[in-house]
Structure 1
Amino acid sequence: VLTMSDTAIGAAMGQLTASNRSATWLTRLIDMEYWLACNEERAAQARFGAVMCCCGPCAIYRRSALLLLLNQYETQMFRGKRSDFGEDRHLTILMLAAGYRTEYVPDAIAATVVPDKLWPYLRQQLRWARSTYRDTLLALRLLPRLDRYLTLDVIGQNVGSFLLAVSMLAGFLQIVLTASAPWQACFLIASMTMIRCSVAAVRSRELR
Structure 2
Amino acid sequence: MISIFVAEYNRWANEKRRLKLHETPPSTPTGDIEKALLTMQNGSPGEITRCMAAIVGYREDPDLFYRALESYKATEGLDFTLVGVDGDQAADMDMVRVFQMVYPKNSAVIHLDEPLGEIAMRTYSKLVDPDMRTPEDIDYCNELTIAHCCQLAREILREHDIQFDKTQPGGGITKLCIYEPHMHKKAIMFTSFIFSIVISEVLDIEFMWSSDSDTIVLPDSLQKTIATVAGDENAGGASSGLVVHNEHDTLWTKLGSAVYWCELYLTRSTSASSGTSDCQSGPSTVFRISALPGILYCWYTQKVMGKRMIVNEDRHLTTNLLLRGWTVTYVSDTLTATDTPTTLSRWLLQQVRWGRATHIETFQQPKVYLLNHPVFFWAAMKREIGPLIVFFSILYYLITGHPFVYFCWWDLVFRAGYTIIYNWLRNPDRGPTNGFAWIIPALLFYNLPLPAIQIWSMATVLEGGWGTTMRSNGEMSKQSQSQLWKRWHDLGFFVLWMGVIELFGWGYWSRPSLRFTH
Query: Which bracket does the TM-score occupy, shorter chain normalised?
Result: 0.7 to 0.9
Q: Which ranges in structure 1 are unaligned for 5 or more consecutive residues?
A: none
Count of aligned residue pairs for this structure pair: 203
SS for the counterpart of 1:127 is helix
Cα distance in 1 for partners of 2:353, 2:411 equals: 25
> 1:202 offset after TM fit, Å?
3.9
Name the counterpart of 1:164. Answer: 390
Paired AA for residue 3 in structure 1 = T
Paired AA for residue 270 in structure 2 = A
Cα distance in 1 for partners of 2:399, 2:251 equals: 31
> 1:84 offset after TM fit, Å?
0.3
Deviations 1:77-111 (A, max 9, x none): 11101110021111101110010000111343111
CA contact (8 A) 2:262 2:423 kept: no
Name the counterpart of 2:345. Answer: 119
Paired AA for residue 102 in structure 1 = V
Partner residue of 1:42 out of 258, 263, 268: 268
Partner residue of 2:296 out of 67, 70, 89: 70
CA contact (8 A) 1:93 1:138 kept: no
Paired AA for residue 399 in structure 2 = L
CA separation of 1:134 and 1:61: change in aligned 2, threshold 3 A: same
SS for the counterpart of 2:395 is helix
Cα distance in 2 for partners of 1:116, 1:27 equals: 5
Name the counterpart of 2:32. Answer: none
Cα distance in 2 for partners of 1:30, 1:8 equals: 34
Name which of structure 1's ranges 24-33 and 46-55 shifts more when overlaid on structure 2.
Answer: 24-33
Name which of structure 1's ranges 69-78 and 132-141 shifts more when overlaid on structure 2.
Answer: 132-141
Name the counterpart of 2:228. Answer: 3
Partner residue of 2:284 out of 58, 66, 79: 58
CA contact (8 A) 2:261 2:429 kept: no
> Relative CO higher for 1 or 2, CA cutoff 8 Å, sep ≥ 6?
1
Cα distance in 2 for partners of 1:201, 1:3 equals: 22
Largest Rg, 1 or 2: 2
The answer to whether the aligner puts 1:148 opposite 2:340 as a matched pair is no
> 1:138 offset after TM fit, Å?
3.0
CA contact (8 A) 1:35 1:200 kept: no
Cα distance in 2 for partners of 1:60, 1:205 equals: 21
**What fraction of aligned residue pairs are identical, expressed as a percent?**
27
Deviations 1:164-208 (A, max 9, x none): 21022123325xxx5x999x9595697578647854774588743
TM-score by length of 1: 0.83
Aligned pairs for 1:102-141 (under 5 A) are 102-141=328-367
CA separation of 1:202 and 1:4: change in aligned 2, threshold 3 A: closer
SS for the counterpart of 1:142 is helix
Q: Which ranges in structure 2 are unaligned for 5 or more consecutive residues?
A: 1-225, 431-518
Cα distance in 2 for partners of 1:192, 1:160 equals: 19
Q: How large is the Cα RMSD of the aligned pairs? A: 2.8
